[in-house]
């Protein structure tokens, strides 16, 4: 299976600054990673994903970095906005396994 | 295209009662799953299905049953509710049957067991 964990449970960031959320995973055979955003009272919302054959992937204001050597991935949010305040989860999916494992989540609070 | 829908949104049960949480998706996804989310924790996988007629256990399956008679629907049954099953339940679906793919989540069902 897979075990994923986030490094910090909370992150406070000034509006306009960049945010970095970190995540570690245990299974070196993990093939696919996803970052989700969850706002209060809602289901997790897909942000960005990355497969193990990539080191970096960019979306709109977000970048995911994957370091397979140390089994670490990060989510970078550029120019953080108040609407980015939410809980962020990383999730990992091992090869040949249909079970997606989630970390505990990092609560991001954006200060005006 | 409604995506993943869940009913009810809220439910209160007494210990020992049974109920079914409904989940449906209209994206023709093969893979569907159920998670529970407890305060301050990530999502934990209860059961999943890779297609109609096929189900399997996740990380925390005890006390729950599932079936998958159609591609669209994946109900979760609580056989005899216990206070430990108080949680928020999320259903998700994805198109990947042969391997991992992006999962889309429903809005959740908030369950309280007294």
Whether A87 has a pLDDT exceeding 60, the answer reads yes
The residues, any chain, with a CB within 8 Å of residue B79's CB and separated by 6 or more, are B18, B63, B64, B65
Looking at chain A, which residue has its C-alpha nearest residue B97?
A98
The answer to whether the beta carbons of residues A80 and A13 sit under 8 Å apart is yes
B105–A101 CB contact, under 8 Å: no
Summarised one tens digit per residue, pLDDT across range A32-47 is 899 999 999 899 999 9
Whether B82 has a pLDDT exceeding 90, the answer reads yes
- A70: closest CA of chain B, how far (Å): 22
Closest residue by Cα to residue B92 from A83, A6, A100: A100
The answer to whether the beta carbons of residues B68 and B54 sit under 8 Å apart is yes
Model confidence band, residue B95 (pLDDT cutoffs 50, 70, 90): confident
- A42: closest CA of chain B, how far (Å): 5
Model confidence band, residue B42 (pLDDT cutoffs 50, 70, 90): confident
Instruction: Please tell me if residue B104 touches chain A, with a CB cutoff of 8 Å.
Output: yes
- 3-class SS of residue A74: strand
pLDDT value for A59: 94
Instruction: Please tell me if residue A45 touches chain B, with a CB cutoff of 8 Å.
Output: yes
Closest residue by Cα to residue A34 from A7, A60, A57: A57
Model confidence band, residue A99 (pLDDT cutoffs 50, 70, 90): confident
pLDDT value for B39: 83
Residue, of A8 and A53, whose pLDDT is higher: A53
pLDDT value for A97: 75
Of the listed ranges A84-98, B29-43, B63-77, B91-105, the least confidently predicted one is B91-105
E strand or H helix at A73, and its extent? Answer: strand A72-77
Least CB-CB distance to A93: which of B35, B100, B105? B100
A59-70 mean pLDDT = 94
Instruction: Please tell me if residue B103 touches chain A, with a CB cutoff of 8 Å.
Output: yes
Closest residue by Cα to residue B84 from B67, B100, B60: B60
End-to-end CA distance of chain A: 41
DSSP B65-101: EE--SSSSB--EEESS--GGG-EEEEEEEES-SSS--
B44-51 mean pLDDT = 93
* Distances from the Cα of A60 to the Cα of A16, A42, A64, angstroms: 15, 21, 11
Least CB-CB distance to A43: which of B33, B41, B106? B106
- A103: closest CA of chain B, how far (Å): 5
Model confidence band, residue B99 (pLDDT cutoffs 50, 70, 90): low
Model confidence band, residue B52 (pLDDT cutoffs 50, 70, 90): very high
């Amino acid at each position: 299976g897979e075990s994923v964990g986030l490094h910090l449970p909370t992150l406070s960031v000034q509006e306009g600054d960049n945010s970095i959320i970190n995540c570690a995973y245990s299974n070196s055979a993990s093939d696919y990673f996803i970052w989700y955003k969850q706002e209060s009272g809602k289901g997790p919302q897909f942000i960005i994903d990355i497969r193990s054959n990539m080191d970096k992937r960019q979306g709109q204001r977000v970048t995911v970095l994957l370091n397979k050597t140390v089994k670490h991935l990060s989510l970078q949010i550029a120019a953080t906005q108040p609407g980015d305040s939410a809980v962020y989860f990383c999730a990992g999916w091992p090869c040949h396994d249909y079970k997606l494992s989630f970390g505990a989540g990092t609560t991001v609070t954006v200060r005006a | 295209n409604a995506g993943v829908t869940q009913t009810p949104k809220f439910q209160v049960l007494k210990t020992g009662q049974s109920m079914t949480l409904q989940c449906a998706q209209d994206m023709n996804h093969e893979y569907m799953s159920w998670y529970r989310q407890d305060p301050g924790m990530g999502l934990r996988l209860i059961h999943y299905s890779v297609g109609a007629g096929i189900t399997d256990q996740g990380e925390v399956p005890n006390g729950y049953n599932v079936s998958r008679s159609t591609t669209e629907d994946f109900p979760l049954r609580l056989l005899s509710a216990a206070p430990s099953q108080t949680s928020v339940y999320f259903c998700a679906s994805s198109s990947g049957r042969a391997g991992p793919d992006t999962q889309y989540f429903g809005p959740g069902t908030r369950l309280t067991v007294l």
